[in-house]
A and B are shown apart, each in its own frame.
Chain A
């Protein structure tokens, strides 16, 4: 365990000095057709799990708190973030390297989540969702009598 952790720490330290490369924004390939032709993007997401919670970290640059919808329903987590498109009014593009659009992504949750205990925080375009596991889903230590 310790060596594993040490390797991970080293990887993280190395990652800090590594030069970042451009990650092309992933366009959403929707199963259902939308009534409007606008493009949606799939946010880059990290997911990690601890004994009592599942944490989902998503990059949704340009989305304000008020334009963010997070739903947990039937073991599906769905996040939709809308960008404030009016900010681009009066701006005439002359050179572009990336496109802008609303973000949407959904995950099937494998462990049971306590739907009343979903924590959400938005910092610098990064959304951190903390999904507390329901009591039944938490690992239980079995005492040997």
Chain B
């Protein structure tokens, strides 16, 4: 490729993300609440990575649970300002969230890792050993 510059790559990546908008890959479970926070799911080799943007949420207000293949992301986002201030613009939303999703592959609940940096929550889901494809040797 001639144009291997980061902008070109970013544009291509953005287009790929748009193309996969809400495909039927991920199922929501009835136990979970609304569709907040929006999620992106990536494949990384055998494993999966879930990312979500939740700016303004404290790590201590986050509650992440894994049960079988179901992942629950719950938390509270607060927006607090001094009483004395007069507000000109108000676009940031506060509230609670609770979302459950079921991953259509078997994951190892013991090896789920969560990372929260700069308002982005990243969940690393390791595929269960028994779920990994095995190559069969023909004898």
Contact = CB atoms under 8 A, between A and B. Distances in A.
A48 B10 contact: no
A38 to B, nearest CB: 5
A9 interface: yes
B133 interface: no
B20 A96 contact: yes
Contacts of A96: 17-18, 20-23, 40-41
Interface residues of B, number: 65
Contacts of A94: 20, 23, 25, 41-43, 48
A48 B40 contact: no
A18 B95 contact: yes
A99 interface: yes
Given A12-B80, A61-B119, A93 B16 contact: yes
B88 to A, nearest CB: 4
A98 B41 contact: no
A61 B90 CA distance: 18
Interface stretch (A39-47, A72-80, A112-120): A39-47
A34 to B, nearest CB: 9
B85 interface: yes
